[in-house]
Structure 1
């Protein structure tokens, strides 16, 4: 059974005449007869009763006809939806960003744009720690992850796209002994404990703090904690300091103070090379546009 046989069968049912069907399809009558006979042979079902040069669908033929009609409509609708997915007009996209970041001013614009121009695309957004982001990309829970570029260095089969540079800030408690000192400098914190998130694979958080302090003439005491929330807790409790950035919600805490480190993080988006989701490029273009636009405001 093939599509030509099905097309000829449907046309013959609609015309109920071999000659008229052949004329409409611009083929010979024997060509129609041959394909109908082949279809009946393939199905092992008699589709028409032929009497006195007239044809009539058998009950089984009527059932097959209705089936083919439904299949034709389903195929048409499926191709329509498949085209939308291929062109990025419909589908799902899962975005994960670093926990603690306030990206509401960016994501709100992106989701609004998608709702206006790509209403068929469903966006899901979540936040995760450094390890959770990488894991979610590897197990395809996330289509795109957004994080500090150095934390993505271990990704070998992914594409990376730089979307921003954000200032690093040294964060300390308002109750810290240095809080009242005027004209604070980074090297004033040389005796402090610097808390970082544990990262056993690349150790980039530890190295980042050491490299940041090097120009100020000291090697910091670095202690690892399980996650970003634990970093905040240590700082809020006055047990030490930590390096956050301008995107982190920690800046909204009135019990904390901040010092510009004169350095920055590179923020990148990453996605798997083999991920064929067409909405990825749409999202990357939109988020980059919004972030750069906000920089100019």
Structure 2
């Protein structure tokens, strides 16, 4: 069992609805159903009575609900105490950003400057998939994240600050036939497969790709991959292309080529509203100020 299974179980029991619980946790109904099915299989019992129109707990489910509710409260309290203690003793800010991004053009300079100003505060970094990044922030496993602004829409309990914009592009392989052509436009990719990550943001990604390609007069052929690493591998080996941006860590390697697009991604930093640490806001402001002064990054 894991945290997400327990959270799904408690939320369904509270809402008495799989749909309402899924909406509250920002996951799809099929996903929450899979989590509960796996949870029930592991426990060896049925947690919910599904014979009536309204979802209700089984007698065994009632017992587990009382236990996990108390466990969750105590666990969150304990984790917050430990986190506060670690912050006091170690002075660590946990920064996360999207896997596949390269931010070495600006982050090392900022961190060196930040370290000189706050020598007792260290910064650790972690790269995650988009949905994992948001969940880590909500679960207080990260203090602040660097992410596409539109991915934060509808997320409750966070503060955010737009810090910059980065240009979008289409990434493709040097091994594709298109790599031999000059002055490519998006329309030249009309027969290619466009890869997107199969996560909770997949629907938004699909709409973004479809709408952009529509403006060039074609309907893209889309294919989902389990993660960014799989997409990079597929594109590198000439199996398709992907929409990305100028922060992509692979765009300047020998295996890839790209064309720049006439649109940008808005980039924001986000942190939990319950995080009262002023030092997190200082780091956000320093990153924003640096990027504003160096807009080519």
TM-score scaled by length of structure 1:
0.67
Alignment of 1:147-162 (within 5 A): 147-162=147-162
Residue matched to 1:275: 275
CA distance in 2, matches of 1:110, 1:183: 36
Match of 2:215, SS? helix
Task: Describe the shift of the 1:191–1:202 C-alpha distance in structure 2 as closer, same or farther (beyond 3 A).
Answer: closer
Match of 1:252, SS? coil
Show structure 1 runs of 5+ residues with no match.
1-81
CA distance in 1, matches of 2:140, 2:288: 22
Task: Describe the shift of the 1:98–1:268 C-alpha distance in structure 2 as closer, same or farther (beyond 3 A).
Answer: same
CA distance in 1, matches of 2:166, 2:228: 17
CA distance in 2, matches of 1:131, 1:176: 31
Q: Across the two proteins, how many residue pairs are aligned to each other?
A: 211
Residue matched to 1:113: 113
Distance apart, 1:201 and its partner CA: 5.1
Q: Is the CA contact 2:151–2:201 (under 8 Å) kept in the aligned structure 1?
A: no
1:150-208 Cα shifts (integer Å, max 9, x gaps): 22224111112111110111011111122212221101111111001112356222122
Residue matched to 1:229: 229
Match of 2:208, SS? helix
1:64-106 Cα shifts (integer Å, max 9, x gaps): xxxxxxxxxxxxxxxxxx9xx89xxx83211001111111122
CA distance in 1, matches of 2:164, 2:183: 29
Q: Is the CA contact 2:131–2:200 (under 8 Å) kept in the aligned structure 1?
A: no
Q: Is the CA contact 1:109–1:290 (under 8 Å) kept in the aligned structure 2?
A: no
Q: Is the CA contact 2:131–2:201 (under 8 Å) kept in the aligned structure 1?
A: no
Alignment of 1:235-254 (within 5 A): 235-254=235-254
Alignment of 1:43-192 (within 5 A): 91-192=91-192
CA distance in 2, matches of 1:176, 1:283: 42
Task: Describe the shift of the 1:168–1:96 C-alpha distance in structure 2 as closer, same or farther (beyond 3 A).
Answer: same
CA distance in 2, matches of 1:289, 1:237: 39
Residue matched to 1:194: 194
CA distance in 2, matches of 1:173, 1:143: 36
Task: Describe the shift of the 1:279–1:211 C-alpha distance in structure 2 as closer, same or farther (beyond 3 A).
Answer: same
Task: Describe the shift of the 1:201–1:236 C-alpha distance in structure 2 as closer, same or farther (beyond 3 A).
Answer: closer
Show structure 2 runs of 5+ residues with no match.
1-83
CA distance in 2, matches of 1:171, 1:202: 18
> Which protein is bigger by CA-based radius of gyration?
1
Match of 2:263, SS? strand
Match of 1:292, SS? helix
CA distance in 2, matches of 1:259, 1:201: 24
1:30-85 Cα shifts (integer Å, max 9, x gaps): xxxxxxxxxxxxxxxxxxxxxxxxxxxxxxxxxxxxxxxxxxxxxxxxxxxx9xx8
RMSD: 2.0
Residue matched to 2:62: none
Task: Describe the shift of the 1:206–1:277 C-alpha distance in structure 2 as closer, same or farther (beyond 3 A).
Answer: same
CA distance in 2, matches of 1:274, 1:202: 29
Residue matched to 1:265: 265
